[in-house]
Structure 1
Amino acid sequence: MKLPRAFKTSMAAVLSAALLATVLPATPALAAAPAPATSAVQAQALAVDGGLQIAAKKIQRNPSKDDVFVNKKYPLSPVKYAPKTVAVKGTNVRLKSSAAKAYSKMAKAAAKDGVKIRAVSGYRSYNRQAELFNYYTRIYGKSYASRISAVPGTSEHQTGLAIDVGNANGACGLQACFANTPVGKWVGKNAHKYGFIMRYQKGQESVTGYSYEPWHFRYLGTSLAKSVKNSGAKSLEAFYGVSGKKAKSTPKQTKGTARTTANLNMRTGAGAGNRLLVTIPKGKSVQLTGSKKSGWYQIRYSSKTGWVSGKYLKNISMPAAPKKDSKKSAPQKSTSNAKSAKTTANLNMRAGAGTSHRVVLTIPNGKKVAVRGAKKSGWYPVKYAGKNGWVSGTYLSNFSSSGTAPKTTNPKSSKSSSKKTIANLNMRSGAGTGKRVILTIPKGKTVTIRGSKKSGWYPVKYAGKNGWVSGTYLR
């Protein structure tokens, strides 16, 4: 990709700053505020990615450029920007011409290696993004919806430069397990060669603001994509040295807090020989857990817990007792002995405690589940329809510790639920776009759900016919 002139002329300064950052203490600074779309913004150096220090770089804010930077803090300007797009050859997915050509080249290269990539989703307009975000908000609540979907005007899909990819057979579609499939492994290793980067990597939610999405790739142009890859940055935010989320207000100085007097390394244990977790900028407030050992304090900062040297702390006010024990014990008193609970929304049961684990099935709203044990990081082990897995406690209510666990039910024999289509939707003979189309269900029609979801597809009945439809277009 041809880089902006401002970027080229600053390369020497960037390389020099990058070299200095490896030998000198970093100078923390807040990210610059968004500027008009026609300008570039100078990002300040900030340790945001596991201690990786990235030199200051120009941030492109013009939405018509391939290297435009977009996230929750840097929305598009104008907010309803609409690019010129073309259809990716052989699909109904649309992208900007530069991204479409690069994707086609990448897909051909993958095919030569025996890997067939499927384009799942590309450009989405402001209005379409609003529909999706509002849908997820109704189903999951605004907090969780913000982790899996962008507020309209802040989505990379609206630029026409982002594409979601998948396997030709639909396996692990839009799920974390996609990373371990043939296509997931190939694009993870080779996408940068064709100008794409995996935008939302594992463990970077606190930086990007979004859950792990190994299927979401952003086109930057080959030169910039390779630079990001070679830098070792795990996010575009880290590459530019900016935070993905809006800065929180500085907490008041209360018991159980202290303030750093220098850029301070947080480590996994009390001592300089322990692994570095993150570098805390000078002047930041940290939370003390109450534990102290050999002049080191255990603290919490930016959702991480670790140890720092007390030599670089001031205004130290130790709590009466460590807070972590009292916080964890309270909620478990009323629910750890629970035998059952009810879902308050259509709820994904996963193979483990966390959204990165594989979806086992989706439990309908209002269903009773058997609670099999104690809560772990906000998730409960449950049993439903003869299957065991984990669900988020946020969407459970009516915990009951009396009586016996509910009997398991067979989805095929239990009372059927229903959903409505949000677009003209193809019913197919099996779960995947490679299956034969039986009929097209008009937008706004009600379909009967006949069983459990499989790889994002539902078995349904409509107009006297049985088949499978994509759950993306049901609500």
Structure 2
Amino acid sequence: MSSHRTPLGLAAALAVALSATLLPAVPAGAAVGIENTSHSQIAAVLAVPSAQRGITRDPSSTQVFVNKNYPLKPSRFAPKTTAVSKSGVRLQPQAASAFTKMAKAAARDGVRIVPVSGYRSYARQAELFARYTKLYGKSYASRISAVPGTSEHQTGLAIDVGNANSACGLQECFARTPVGQWVAKHGSKFGFIIRYPKGQEAVTGYAYEPWHLRYLGTATAKSYKSSGAASLEAYYGVAGAKRPGGGISTAPGTATTTANLNLRSGAGTGHKVLMTIPKGKSVKLTGAKSSGWYKVSYASRTGWVSGTYLRNISLPKSSAPKAAKSAKTTANLNLRSGAGTGHRILVTIPKGKKVAITGARKSGWYPVKYAGISGWASATYLR
């Protein structure tokens, strides 16, 4: 479905591997006009409540909705595709034409959008998913890659993009690069949206991928952006809806904010405000609860929020916290928002302090929690 976000140590290598198999060349650059979509078309789409918009399952339609709960039918669907101008990346003709226009418009602004990966067959997706499962285990693989038959790439309507210098390829920091910023701002004008937004993994089922674009057509893409929906699932009204085969698609251990909500260092208004979580965002519940307050995680930070401003609360299957491994810092140590020195510093942990290790080591960095704040710390300075 999406391209594959990898631990930083392997990101560059896999980006090169993908380029070698899927990207023989790079896109062209002359400028052309932007596709036009009338205000009446957009207004007509927006006028329909999300719960009534309905989803399209026809894989040949540019509106086809695909995710883990809504697989392609037939599962081995193979669309008609064409090569994106001057590249080996293939998309459905309408999407390929729109991408070429978008790339030329970006070039006019001095930004070079490189197509990295487009259509993938069922068999190719099966190979990739098996590779990531072998490398990282099935649980992590399912966050960064799709089970064959559930991938947007198989529709021929999804494309992963990059910078000409490969900056931040397949990494969250791509959002801050020239191409990442340009497509986020202008992509909808050409019918493309960022399919897996930040903070929506509990809804979309995939980690944040600012490089993964989905073609919907200009009317729907502009309507989606104008609606302010947090995800395509939310736009279509299926973010917490029942799956086709029964059950609830909302992941256990999540809730949605109903207002701009302060994340505090403790359970109560007397505690320090760590950040303000925007209205409509999905937060992860840790399972702890105290006097109407819930302990949650959002954007790599952990703290407490008032349950008054949460809806669709789905507590974890087990609220008993697991025993966390711990370590001590051997120097004043920066806690960062990601695994690498290029990520933002959240706080500096003093030497000799105890931190909780919350996950597996990646490229010499550990995910840790200190003073209610979660982030990444270099393993070099932990013992």
Q: Identify the TM-score tier after normalising by the shorter chain.
A: 0.5 to 0.7
Q: How many residues align?
A: 291
> How far apart are 1:301 and its partner, in Å?
8.4
State the SS of the aligned residue for 1:327. coil
State the SS of the aligned residue for 2:355. coil
* Aligned equivalents of 2:147, 2:279: Cα separation in 1: 30
Maintained 8 Å contact 2:327/2:357:
no
Counterpart residue number, 1:327: 321
TM-score norm. by structure 2 comes to 0.64
* Aligned equivalents of 1:146, 1:114: Cα separation in 2: 36
Counterpart residue number, 2:290: 291
**Cα distance change on mapping 1:63 and 1:2 into 2, 3 Å:** farther
> How far apart are 1:208 and its partner, in Å?
0.5
* Aligned equivalents of 1:213, 1:383: Cα separation in 2: 20
Answering whether residue 366 of structure 2 is matched by residue 390 of structure 1, we say yes
From the CA coordinates, give the structure whose radius of gyration is larger.
Answer: 1
Amino acid at match of 2:221: A
Answering whether residue 178 of structure 2 is matched by residue 179 of structure 1, we say no
Counterpart residue number, 2:137: 141
Counterpart residue number, 1:87: 83
Answering whether residue 327 of structure 2 is matched by residue 375 of structure 1, we say no
**Cα distance change on mapping 1:227 and 1:290 into 2, 3 Å:** closer
Answering whether residue 85 of structure 2 is matched by residue 101 of structure 1, we say no
The aligned runs of 1:141-290 (5 Å cut-off) are 141-243=137-239, 247=247, 268=262, 289-290=288-289
Amino acid at match of 1:105: K
* Aligned equivalents of 2:110, 2:164: Cα separation in 1: 12
> How far apart are 1:298 and its partner, in Å?
1.9
> How far apart are 1:99 and its partner, in Å?
0.4
* Aligned equivalents of 2:234, 2:209: Cα separation in 1: 17
Answering whether residue 65 of structure 2 is matched by residue 69 of structure 1, we say yes
TM-score norm. by structure 1 comes to 0.52
**Cα distance change on mapping 1:248 and 1:63 into 2, 3 Å:** closer
**Cα distance change on mapping 1:357 and 1:406 into 2, 3 Å:** closer
User: What 5-or-longer segments of structure 2 have no aligned partner?
Assistant: 1-34, 251-255, 270-275, 312-317, 343-352, 370-378
State the SS of the aligned residue for 1:59. coil
> How far apart are 1:248 and its partner, in Å?
5.2
Counterpart residue number, 1:336: 327
State the SS of the aligned residue for 1:207. helix
Amino acid at match of 1:375: A
| Between structures 1 and 2, the one with greater helix share | 2
**Cα distance change on mapping 1:167 and 1:373 into 2, 3 Å:** farther
* Aligned equivalents of 1:264, 1:234: Cα separation in 2: 12
**Cα distance change on mapping 1:83 and 1:302 into 2, 3 Å:** farther
**Cα distance change on mapping 1:171 and 1:192 into 2, 3 Å:** same
State the SS of the aligned residue for 2:194. strand
Counterpart residue number, 1:39: none
> Kindly, what percent of the aligned residue pairs are identical?
50
* Aligned equivalents of 1:131, 1:383: Cα separation in 2: 24
* Aligned equivalents of 1:383, 1:200: Cα separation in 2: 24
**Cα distance change on mapping 1:122 and 1:300 into 2, 3 Å:** same
> How far apart are 1:233 and its partner, in Å?
1.1
> How far apart are 1:175 and its partner, in Å?
1.1
> How far apart are 1:307 and its partner, in Å?
2.2
State the SS of the aligned residue for 1:375. strand
